[in-house]
Amino acid sequence: METITTTDALAALCERLSSAPFVTVDTEFLRETTFWPKLCLVQIASMDEAALIDPLAEGISLEPLFALLADESVMKVFHAARQDVEIFHHLSGDVPKPLFDTQVAAMVCGFGDSVAYDQIVQRVTGAVVDKSSRFTDWSARPLSEAQLAYALADVTHLRLVYIHLRDTLAQKDRTDWVAEEMALLASPDTYDLKPEDAWRRLKARARQPLELAVLQELAALREREARERDVPRNRVMKDDAIYELALQRPRSPVAMTKLRAVPKGFERSRLGQAVLTIMDEVAGRPADSLPSLPKRKPSIEGASSAVELMKVLLKLSAEAHGVAPKVLATVDDLEAIVAGQDAPALTGWRRTVFGEAALKLRSGEIGIAFDGRTLKTIDCERPLNPAPSASGRGRRRRKRSDSDDTVAVSE
């Protein structure tokens, strides 16, 4: 086990790894008290060696590592890559490439939805990963032998997992199936949330344009403040406070003190004054300059039942092709299909595996029937015509035979 604590040693390691066809990578970090993740350890391995990189070592520069991560001749393998890639994007301004996420690949290879690292390691290699050090303080020095062993295992076992998944994808001719997900993970836009888009993270739904304008401005204010101070968003302003401020839109410190979700004294703070400035500015905007409310999903009679039926079809399709339902379609996809709208599940390989059948179920061309104790899809003799628009009334049609209980749906 080699622990890298100097820039020269890191440069030498990365020079050796640059000739490898792939490297496995993982990180340990803390984020409880900061906006940006605090990188505490980087684990990296090729088939020939494995090492731990200490980014907290005095004087060390991670530039040799960033150069290796940007080297397109070396595949970068992660498990559940999103948070790790976010860290490297923040520190270097770029994302590792090319990129392979074993959790995504595992879903395509039939390991289930979002399989955990220790589970896939055991299923592929038979090894049992000790997770007892998972929630330890990775910023403390020195790290214990148990921590170091745990950290290294996150990349050494990953080598065999990657080879297994890579070969399985090739054997099943599914390598291209994960390409869309990898492209999303490798896009810098995935990790560069602009402050003006921060409102999209909020769960509250604005009821009028003026309320939405305030939500947008408050969310952007909080995002910028949290980034500048490097503190969690809720340390700046809690979601409930943003919701109540947008709803009530106080125009004075006294009015702000009457809001339950706003902490005492907030109206006297610099941030409180900034909020009041936002209230004045938004209130003075012309009505035609206010943002439009996001379009709500169309309300369709029987839509919830139709979505539940789509979920059954999704499970049948996933089982038939040995993939995880989650990688085929989301609930949003199913709702869009029921409403007669476009969805990712209707494009590319997903359309072949599930989307075409979903459209046929929607139009009544196929149904779902019991065959003994199992479910199957069957062709319907008289398919229902698709509704001309998403607002059309839903219809359900049952067709029975001596051996089948079949349900087809058309919305």
CB 313 within 8 A of CB 333: no
**Confidence class for position 403, pLDDT limits 50, 70, 90:** very low
Query: pLDDT (tens digit, 9 = 90+) per residue, 310-352?
Result: 999 999 999 999 999 999 999 999 999 999 999 999 999 999 9
pLDDT at 239: 96
Q: In 3D, which of 213, 227, 276, 270 has the Cα closest to residue 250?
A: 276
pLDDT at 133: 83
Cα–Cα distance measured from residue 170 to residue 109, given in angstroms and rounded to the nearest whole number: 11
In order of 178, 283, 301, 323, the CA distances from 162 in angstroms are 13, 55, 46, 17
Phi and psi at 252, nearest 5°, equal -145, 160
Query: pLDDT (tens digit, 9 = 90+) per residue, 17-60?
Result: 999 999 999 999 999 999 999 999 999 999 999 999 999 999 99
pLDDT of 242 higher than 80: yes
Torsion angle of alpha carbons 191, 194, 200, 204, nearest 10°? Answer: 120
Degrees (nearest 5) of the Cα angle 8, 13, 17? Answer: 150
**Confidence class for position 393, pLDDT limits 50, 70, 90:** very low
In order of 6, 27, 28, 62, the CA distances from 140 in angstroms are 18, 15, 12, 19
Contacts of 217 (CB under 8 A, 6+ apart): 278, 281, 282
Percentage of residues in the chain having pLDDT higher than 70: 91
Q: In 3D, which of 400, 394, 397 has the Cα closest to residue 408?
A: 397
252 token code pair:
């004075």
Average pLDDT of 121-125?
96
Helix orientation angle between 7-17 and 63-70, rounded to the nearest 10 degrees = 20
pLDDT at 373: 80
358 token code pair:
């979903």
3-state secondary structure 61-77: CCHHHHHHHHCCCCEEE
State whether residue 353 is helix, strand or coil.
helix
Q: Is the dihedral of CA 257, 259, 263, 268 positive or negative?
A: negative
pLDDT at 192: 86
**Confidence class for position 383, pLDDT limits 50, 70, 90:** low
Query: pLDDT (tens digit, 9 = 90+) per residue, 273-292?
Result: 999 999 999 999 999 999 99
**Confidence class for position 389, pLDDT limits 50, 70, 90:** very low
- Supply the pTM of this predicted model: 0.85
Q: Which helix (H) or strand (E) holds 44?
A: strand 38-45
Percentage of residues in the chain having pLDDT higher than 90: 79
The domains located in the chain, with CATH, are 7-190 (3.30.420.10), 195-284 (1.10.150.80), 303-379 (1.10.150)
Query: pLDDT (tens digit, 9 = 90+) per residue, 132-156?
Result: 888 899 999 999 999 999 999 999 9
Cα–Cα distance measured from residue 223 to residue 277, given in angstroms and rounded to the nearest whole number: 17
Phi and psi at 60, nearest 5°, equal -75, 140
Cα–Cα distance measured from residue 63 to residue 237, given in angstroms and rounded to the nearest whole number: 35
pLDDT of 295 higher than 90: no
Cα–Cα distance measured from residue 262 to residue 314, given in angstroms and rounded to the nearest whole number: 44
Beta-strand pair 50-53/2-4: parallel
Query: pLDDT (tens digit, 9 = 90+) per residue, 163-202?
Result: 999 999 999 999 999 988 899 899 998 998 899 999 999 9
pLDDT of 3 higher than 50: yes
Torsion angle of alpha carbons 139, 141, 142, 143, nearest 10°? Answer: -10
CB 7 within 8 A of CB 53: no
Q: Which residue has the higher pLDDT, 199 or 297?
A: 199
Cα–Cα distance measured from residue 101 to residue 182, given in angstroms and rounded to the nearest whole number: 7
- The verdict on whether omega for the bond into residue 142 sits within 30 degrees of 0, i.e. cis, is yes
pLDDT at 372: 81
Measured in whole angstroms, how far is the alpha carbon of residue 15 from the centre of its chain? 32
Beta-strand pair 99-101/75-78: parallel
Beta bridge partner(s), residue 399: 406
98 token code pair:
């090319």
pLDDT of 395 higher than 50: no
Cα–Cα distance measured from residue 114 to residue 130, given in angstroms and rounded to the nearest whole number: 19
pLDDT at 180: 82
Q: How many CA atoms lie within 13 A of 63 on its CB side?
A: 4
